[in-house]
Amino acid sequence: MLANNQPANISSFQHEDRVFPPPKGFAAQAHIKSMAQYRKLYNESVNSPEKFWGKQAKEELVWFKPWKKVLEWKAPFAKWFVGAKLNVSYNCLDRHLNTITANKAALIWEGEPAGTGVLGEERTLTYKQLHREVCLFANVLKRNGLKKGDRAIIYLPMVPEAAIAMLACARIGVVHSVVFGGFSAQSVADRIHDCQAKLVITADGGFRRGAIVPLKQNVDDALGIQNASGEVLAKTIQKVIVLRRANNGIHIQEGRDVWWHREMDNVSADCPAEPMDSEAPLFILYTSGSTGKPKGILHTTGGYLLGAKMTSKYVFDLQAMDTYWCTADVGWVTGHSYVVYGPLANGATSLMYEGAPNFPEPDRFWRIVEKYGVTILYTAPTAIRAFMKWGTEWPRKHNLSSLRLLGTVGEPINPEAWIWYHEVIGGKRCPIVDTWWQTETGGIMITPLPGATPTKPGTATLPFFGVLPEVVDDQGKAVPRNSGGKLVIRKPWPSMLRGIWGDMQRYRDTYWSEVKGSYFTGDGCRQDKDGYFWIVGRIDDVLNVAGHRIGTAEVESALVSNHKVAEAAVVGRPDDLKGQALVAFVTVKGGVTADQKLRDELRNHVAKEIGPVAKPDDIRFAEALPKTRSGKIMRRLLKQIASGGEIKGDTTTLEDLSVLARLSSSEE
């Protein structure tokens, strides 16, 4: 089961012996200085979780009203800090205003296009300035009809206003759902429909690799899309707030669309933070699963913020002087927890960059590191592999000596990339934190602590405080060390998802039914002799393409929604750069010519239905798809064909064996 899904270049046992202790000098300054200290806290956290989390919550966050109970666990439903009240925006902003942090940079932003002089437009917002913008914009939201509990869609480029919009929603108890700018109009419409949002916050455009992403145009299209029964999907939308960014002459619909900057002129900067229940919804973030449309993962207030704050502090070892840069887009959970909420709750300086890593040239990231003196860099293995391919001459052009800590997230990192990152970017002096977590977990779950944990290239090492992971077999029994199995989490944790928006049955089925009583991650894993967790990758029908999570079922339904397609099956194959690539097996309807033109058409069709991130890398036409007698598509077989491997295992249940031969040779 595991071998089929193994992405490219995943480490094997031979790397386990390369151990990198925390660099000398690092531990002395770090929040957690030794394995003994980590173990002591970890044991406390899992042996007396309520005591541990109660203490942490008191120390880390500002509460308007204390809790009655730390945890109420009625599996699979958790309530953390029951009865307590707090506000996320208050904890990220107001609490710093009477401290020396008030005039410290909260956000340093660089736009993609050239500014004047040094490459890149620049903006810096101190905590005081950010607070003011957030208060103003929260009043704009109120003025446009939003109330506590309403949902708003945020569809913006990576600009400070994305963080401002999120924090403004949090300030008045509006639930935000950020949609990644690379998703299509259809995806925007589907999400609006699912969460019944009242308002969209967008921009005329954003910059990406020198081109303008037409966000407002996509919103206009989204608001017109109807489903099969003629219902307008986004009919709940009353207002669209438009940020001027690209100045690309967009259409403004009177009565519905308003300009961000005009609205800001009409409101006061006084907006007290609303006391929110600890379990009040904070955001919904859509992510792909193994079946159907993306699921709206629901996160709430107190537990989420505590998780985001503590993991930021301990995993990145945040210190007052740091310039911290997480390269993720706010459209993903990494951007929520580690660009906005986690760093700001800690009073850190968080850097945001709008554009592509290779625009105008492949050294853009290293220019930014040098220019701002970045000390902590958190990025994805797929980016690191691209940098390796582009060549060491690009980072070598720049002074990267400010860096003191490196992180990775999103997919397993192959040891070759880990070593390159360590040597070429980190100059062998920076610890690497390989952090495993998911949209659903809200924050980092398995990770080294940089001053304590000896690392090995390719493993996320050990659990964070309060996290109890285990590798189990199909019966849910723990497997011995060094055997593969399913990764589950045995105990609830504060930043865990609270459900799937509008579909609690799906929440139970997806996460809590595979292994009774435990949270099923969807990942395969192995623990080595030291107890380190080696994540193998997804074992469900979810692919990880360049760190983006893509459901095969979603791409399949996008393909069959094209009138020329009869059937489609989508599988992953290993890819050196992206980890996995998408391969679609397609049968066409009678009279349709399966040629290169149709391939291009179908790829564009998927981009339109979901977004460019979901475009299949290969489309292979077949006369029929291999099926079992009961009519199930044999994915295992397709994966082997897609990877160019030999067909192994039992194929006797194949309905029509000759289909196999045709599939294998269908490439023109």
H or E segment to which residue 544 belongs? strand 542-545
438 binds ligand WT7 (CB under 6 A): yes
- Which of 57, 55, 54 is closest to 69 using CA atoms? 54
Question: In whole angstroms, how close is the CB of 651 to ligand WT7 at the nearest point?
Answer: 28
411 binds ligand WT7 (CB under 6 A): yes
496 binds ligand WT7 (CB under 6 A): no
Non-local (6+) Cβ contacts of 593 within 8 A are none
Question: In whole angstroms, how close is the CB of 442 to ligand WT7 at the nearest point?
Answer: 9
Binding window for ligand WT7 (CB under 6 A); candidates: 225-233, 534-542, 587-595, 639-647: 534-542
Among residues 133 and 523, whose Cβ is nearest to ligand WT7? 523
Which residue from 289, 355, 395, 412 is in contact with ligand WT7, where contact means CB under 6 A?
A: 412
520 binds ligand WT7 (CB under 6 A): no
Binding window for ligand WT7 (CB under 6 A); candidates: 363-371, 396-404, 437-445, 502-510: 437-445
Residues 572-591 that bind ligand WT7 (CB under 6 A): none
Q: Are 172 and 271 in contact (CB under 8 A)?
A: yes
Question: In whole angstroms, how close is the CB of 445 to ligand WT7 at the nearest point?
Answer: 9
Side-chain half-sphere CA neighbours of 645 within 13 A: 15
Q: What is the layout of strands, in order, in the sheet containing 295-300?
A: 257-259, 239-243, 199-203, 151-155, 175-178, 281-287, 295-300, 499-500
Among residues 87 and 510, whose Cβ is nearest to ligand WT7? 510
Binding window for ligand WT7 (CB under 6 A); candidates: 56-64, 351-359, 435-443, 594-602: 435-443
Question: In whole angstroms, how close is the CB of 184 to ligand WT7 at the nearest point?
Answer: 18
Instruction: Give phi and psi for 573, each to the nearest 5.
Output: -135, 150
User: Per-residue x/- mask for ligand WT7, residues 282 to 311, rule CB under 6 A?
Assistant: -----x------------------------
Binding window for ligand WT7 (CB under 6 A); candidates: 73-81, 533-541, 551-559, 562-570: 533-541
Instruction: Give phi and psi for 93, each to the nearest 5.
Output: -125, -70
544 binds ligand WT7 (CB under 6 A): yes
Instruction: Give phi and psi for 256, each to the nearest 5.
Output: -110, -45
Q: What is the DSSP string of 392-441?
A: THHHHTS--TT--EEEEESSPPPHHHHHHIIIIITTTTS-EEEEB--GGG
Among residues 137 and 436, whose Cβ is nearest to ligand WT7? 436
Question: In whole angstroms, how close is the CB of 51 to ligand WT7 at the nearest point?
Answer: 28
- Distance, in Å, from the CA atom of 160 to the CA atom of 157, rounded to the nearest integer, reads 9
**Biggest alpha carbon–alpha carbon distance for the chain:** 74
331 binds ligand WT7 (CB under 6 A): no
- Distance, in Å, from the CA atom of 324 to the CA atom of 337, rounded to the nearest integer, reads 13
Q: Please give the sequence-ordered ranges of beta strands (E in DSSP) within 268-393, or none if there are none.
A: 276-277, 281-287, 295-300, 323-326, 349-353, 376-379
Which residue from 153, 535, 539, 637 is in contact with ligand WT7, where contact means CB under 6 A?
A: 535
For tokens 């109009």, name the residue: 185
Strand partners, 296: 286
Among residues 334 and 350, whose Cβ is nearest to ligand WT7? 334
Question: In whole angstroms, how close is the CB of 307 to ligand WT7 at the nearest point?
Answer: 12
Non-local (6+) Cβ contacts of 322 within 8 A are 316, 348, 349, 375, 376
Residue 628 DSSP label: B
Measured N-to-C along each axis, helices 127-143 and 160-172 cross at an angle, to the nearest 10 degrees, of 60
327 binds ligand WT7 (CB under 6 A): no
Non-local (6+) Cβ contacts of 338 within 8 A are 308, 312, 316, 326, 328, 378
484 binds ligand WT7 (CB under 6 A): no
Among residues 27 and 489, whose Cβ is nearest to ligand WT7? 489
Among residues 163 and 333, whose Cβ is nearest to ligand WT7? 333
Instruction: Classify residue 249 as left (phi > 0), alpha (psi -120 to 50) or beta.
Output: left
Which residue from 76, 307, 415, 537 is in contact with ligand WT7, where contact means CB under 6 A?
A: 537
For residue 187, the SS3 value is helix
Q: Are 533 and 503 in contact (CB under 8 A)?
A: no
Question: In whole angstroms, how close is the CB of 439 to ligand WT7 at the nearest point?
Answer: 3
Among residues 527 and 587, whose Cβ is nearest to ligand WT7? 527
Pairing of strands 618-621, 405-409: unpaired
Residues 600-619 that bind ligand WT7 (CB under 6 A): none
Q: Are 355 and 388 in contact (CB under 8 A)?
A: no
Total number of residues binding ligand WT7 (CB under 6 A)?
22
Among residues 44 and 416, whose Cβ is nearest to ligand WT7? 416
435 binds ligand WT7 (CB under 6 A): yes
User: Per-residue x/- mask for ligand WT7, residues 447 to 476, rule CB under 6 A?
Assistant: -------------x----------------
Question: In whole angstroms, how close is the CB of 281 to ligand WT7 at the nearest point?
Answer: 18
Question: In whole angstroms, how close is the CB of 348 to ligand WT7 at the nearest point?
Answer: 19
Among residues 135 and 409, whose Cβ is nearest to ligand WT7? 409
Question: In whole angstroms, how close is the CB of 523 to ligand WT7 at the nearest point?
Answer: 5
Question: In whole angstroms, how close is the CB of 467 to ligand WT7 at the nearest point?
Answer: 14
Which residue from 133, 329, 523, 609 is in contact with ligand WT7, where contact means CB under 6 A?
A: 523
Question: In whole angstroms, how close is the CB of 328 to ligand WT7 at the nearest point?
Answer: 7
538 binds ligand WT7 (CB under 6 A): yes
Non-local (6+) Cβ contacts of 662 within 8 A are 622, 623, 624
Which residue from 57, 409, 569, 586 is in contact with ligand WT7, where contact means CB under 6 A?
A: 409
Please give the structure tokens belonging to residue 113: 């296009």
Strand partners, 264: none
Question: In whole angstroms, how close is the CB of 436 to ligand WT7 at the nearest point?
Answer: 4
Among residues 522 and 572, whose Cβ is nearest to ligand WT7? 522
Among residues 363 and 440, whose Cβ is nearest to ligand WT7? 440
Which residue from 177, 379, 439, 587 is in contact with ligand WT7, where contact means CB under 6 A?
A: 439
Strand partners, 445: none
- Which of 387, 380, 364, 351 is closest to 112 using CA atoms? 364
User: Per-residue x/- mask for ligand WT7, residues 342 to 361, rule CB under 6 A?
Assistant: --------------------
Question: In whole angstroms, how close is the CB of 135 to ligand WT7 at the nearest point?
Answer: 30
334 binds ligand WT7 (CB under 6 A): yes
The separation between the first and the last C-alpha atoms of the chain, rounded to the nearest angstrom, is 30
Instruction: Give phi and psi for 415, each to the nearest 5.
Output: -55, -35
Binding site residues, ligand WT7, CB under 6 A = 287, 333-334, 409-412, 434-439, 460, 521-523, 535, 537-538, 544, 549
